[in-house]
Amino acid sequence: MKTKKLVMIPGPTPVVRSIQEQMGRETAAFGDPDFVRDFTSLLDDLKSLWKTTGEVFVVAGTGTLGMEMAVANSLRAGDRVLVVSHGYFGDRFSELCSRRGIEVDVLASEWGRIVPLEQIERALASKNYQAITVTHVDTSTGVCAPVAEIGQLLRRFPDTLYIVDGVCATAAEPEYVDDMGIDILLTGSQKAFGVPPGLAILWAGPKALARRASLGTIPDYYIDFDKWLPIMHEPAKYFATPAVNLVWALKEAVRLIKEEGLENRYARHRRTARAMQAALEALGFRVLAEADHRAVTLSNLIYPSGADDAAFRRLLAEEGVMVAGGLAAYAGRMFRLGHMGNIDAHDLVATLAAIERAAVRSGIPVELGTGLAALQRELVRAAG
Ligand code: PMP
């Protein structure tokens, strides 16, 4: 019999049945009054749950499109941006901006650590930056940036727009747009929302909208806020075809989020991450991110010495669990395990059991059951 495959990479994440069903519906005309009503209520929910008096955009694309949309609508050639980078995806903003003729200063941390707040503050005070970019959770390192604290210190620099990449964080880590001083938050559908890949979601607060207005006509077409705003206000209008089934899928994901409660969802992710990380440490893996700045959405696990990454991940796939490899200097030395979105204790236990089997089969010296025992203890403790 073919083994069921659990997608435990850091996105796409497992898609639950009720969301799958939305993908399988007969596609409607985007002007269909039922679809227009669904889209409108989704947009209202996204604005109220993430707390902005600004706007939200849901467009076909991926997280990278969201990054590009954020930059294109807030900066122009010759502007200066401060990129805070905790890894590969933080660095992505540098290339994206420099290709547009934007001057880029990068504050990069050693992988696994954060850029200290004081260093960010010093940089902001030293020059006039039109924007700062921060990756909430950098998927290459599993580091979670102190987004709220950075927002706090940015209150002293009102001319600097705060752009946050929430691709690996939104719907798992708190991100209250206006309260946290975030001007643009962007994400994708395929991670903590638990929707298949294909949607970019972007919130723009009042200051970001004012910045867009100040730019006049921009060279970009598909990602121009001004092209999409009329659609986000009245989805029956046409600019470019909405991804109808993905919109329904996201609406179902948001319904599940409301049912669970956003704060409860954040707390569940914290419990899950703690349990998985305790279990994997008990097996002899080391979490790359420093303890105070660990993501709840994924774990980046460094192998015990002598492990064979390719063999381990091949055998793990054979055992029915897909994980991702390490990036850049950590290729071959680390694997990345997603634990976000709509997964439950069954998924966690099955994943960890498969990791134990694959570890033993690939020659990593673990004692079967050690990780599971730690996981079980944490799950029981969390249940109270
Ligand atoms: N930012 C972060 C933090 C990511 O993890 C990713 C994807 N792994 C991206 C941006 C790019 O998103 P996408 O692959 O959906 O374009």
Question: pLDDT tens digit string along 227-272?
Answer: 999 999 999 999 999 999 999 999 999 999 999 999 999 999 999 9
CA-CA-CA-CA torsion for 259, 262, 336, 96, nearest 10 degrees? 120
- DSSP assignment of 89-115, as one string? HHHHHHHHHHTTT-EEEEEEPPTTSPP
Quote the tokens at residue 376.
């079980």
pLDDT value, residue 2: 80
Angle at 322 between CA 298 and CA 377, to 5 degrees: 55
What is the spatial distance between Cα 165 and Cα 86, in angstroms, rounded to a whole number? 12
Measured between alpha carbons, how far is 284 from 113 in angstroms, rounded to an integer?
A: 21
Q: Give pLDDT tens digits for 171-200.
A: 999 999 999 999 999 999 999 999 999 999
Distance 295 CA to ligand 1 centre (A): 15
Give pTM, 2 decimals: 0.98
- Among 92, 135, 167, residue to substitute to test ligand 1 (most atoms within 8 Å of Cβ): 167
Which of 9, 13, 59, 64 most suits a substitution to test ligand 1, by most atoms within 8 Å of the C-beta? 64
> Any residues with Cβ below 6 Å from ligand 1, and which?
11, 62-64, 89, 135, 138-139, 165, 167-168, 188
Amino acid letter, 121:
E
Q: Distance between CA atoms of 264 and 303, rounded to whole angstroms?
A: 32
The token pair that represents 6 in the structure block: 């659990």
Helix (H) or strand (E) holding 275: helix 262-282
Is 162 within 8 Å of 208 (Cβ atoms)? no
Main-chain dihedrals φ then ψ at residue 327, nearest 5 degrees? -105, 160
CA of 289 to the centre of ligand 1 (A): 18
Ligand 1: which residue has its CA nearest to atom 8?
Answer: 139
Query: Quick one: DSSP state of residue 263?
Result: H
Q: What local confidence, expressed as pLDDT, does residue 3 receive?
A: 82
Cβ burial 200-229 (10 Å sphere, 16+ → b, else e): bbbbbbebbbebbeebeebeeeebbbebbb
Quote the CA–CA distance of 68 and 97 in Å, as a whole number.
9
Confidence at residue 248, expressed as pLDDT on a 0 to 100 scale = 98
Q: For the chain, which residues score pLDDT lower than 50?
A: none
